[in-house]
């Protein structure tokens, strides 16, 4: 599926595996140790998916028996995820900006929030501010977990945007860990997932049922420990700042990321595709 200058998702027709293995990291909040187990016969766990794409994560959690709400700003993205990518019907669908959905949600509504709004080479900055993350913390249960997809530079001057996101997360959540898309990726644009919670970020051992019979999911999960990124050092944090609604330069900081992303997209599919479709 294309949105703007991005491929926001796709799957292999033979297996239905996601073309992006890192999308499976988004569902690993349910593997964080220390969460209160669901009582036998009790209500299912709940999740809010902000930014749908083709629905990889929402689909997975629904298959695991969770009640999933979706916040997606583009009605066509939601409809295509249902029509062409096998997304089951969520519990509730909000065709709206994720920030507004958060502001209307009740306190401690969700066990998990999945935050994936990257498109076109950058992120909508209003969903990464201190105030937005505080809203996410508010709607999470005390032992709830946020998984946040982020695409950016982790080295050089452009890394200030990445580490500012990390620093802002740490203002809201006591524990934050990040995982890159593949062990061999060391430079340039990196697709990473941040996991944040009041709980220490320690993942339990994988179980057969976690894989949902998917080879790509199995590969992603078994490689995840190798993909853990080190926390930023003092030099990295010296360039970072807490991002707020009043002081939010993420869009201007990500111009190089956006440019490099556009170059990558043109190497995946020819320029004629982007111009004509």
User: Alpha helix (H) ranges present in the chain?
Assistant: 56-63, 75-84, 98-104, 130-139, 159-172, 215-223, 234-238, 250-253, 255-268, 271-276
- The pLDDT value given to residue 121: 60
**From the candidates 116, 205, 213, 215, which is the catalytic residue?**
116
121 neighbors 5 (Cβ within 8 angstroms): yes
**pLDDT tens per residue across span 56-101:** 999 999 999 999 999 999 999 999 999 999 999 999 999 999 999 9
d(CA 82, CA 85): 6
pTM of the model: 0.93
Q: Is 116 an active-site residue?
A: yes
Domain ranges, residue 25? 2-276
d(CA 69, CA 49): 6
**pLDDT tens per residue across span 193-244:** 999 999 999 999 999 999 998 898 999 999 999 999 999 888 888 889 999 9
Least confident of 174-178, 182-186, 261-265: 261-265
d(CA 196, CA 171): 11
- Tokens representing 64 are 């695991």
**Phi, psi (degrees; rounded to nearest 5) at 157:** -65, -30
- The pLDDT value given to residue 74: 93
CATH code where residue 114 lies: 3.40.50.150
**Phi, psi (degrees; rounded to nearest 5) at 133:** -70, -30
Could you tell me the maximum CA-CA distance found in the chain, to the nearest angstrom? 55
Domains: count for the chain: 1
Q: Quote the percentage of the chain above a pLDDT of 90.
A: 61
């Amino acid at each position: 599926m294309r949105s703007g200058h991005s491929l926001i998702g796709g799957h292999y027709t033979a297996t239905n595996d996601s073309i992006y293995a890192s999308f499976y990291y988004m569902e690993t909040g349910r593997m964080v140790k220390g969460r209160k187990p669901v009582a036998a016969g009790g209500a299912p766990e709940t999740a809010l998916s902000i930014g749908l794409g083709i629905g990889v994560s929402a689909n997975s959690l629904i298959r695991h028996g969770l009640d999933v709400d979706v916040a997606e700003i583009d009605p066509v993205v939601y409809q295509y995820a249902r029509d062409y990518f096998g997304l089951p019907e969520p519990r509730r669908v909000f065709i709206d900006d994720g920030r507004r959905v958060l502001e209307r949600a009740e306190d401690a509504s969700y066990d998990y929030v999945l935050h994936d709004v990257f498109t076109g080479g950058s992120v909508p900055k209003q969903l990464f501010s201190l105030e937005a993350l505080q809203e996410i913390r508010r709607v999470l249960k005390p032992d709830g977990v946020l998984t946040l997809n982020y695409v950016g530079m982790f080295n050089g001057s452009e890394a200030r945007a990445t580490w500012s996101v990390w620093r802002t997360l740490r203002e809201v959540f006591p524990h934050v860990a990040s995982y890159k898309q593949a062990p061999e990726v060391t430079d340039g644009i990196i697709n990473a997932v941040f996991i944040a919670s009041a709980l220490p970020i320690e993942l339990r051992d994988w179980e057969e049922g976690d894989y949902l019979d998917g080879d790509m999911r199995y590969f992603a999960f078994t490689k995840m420990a190798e993909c853990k990124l080190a926390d930023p050092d003092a030099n990295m944090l010296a360039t970072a700042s807490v991002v707020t609604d009043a002081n939010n330069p993420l869009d201007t900081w990500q111009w190089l990321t956006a440019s490099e992303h556009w170059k990558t997209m043109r190497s995946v599919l020819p320029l004629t595709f982007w111009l004509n479709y």
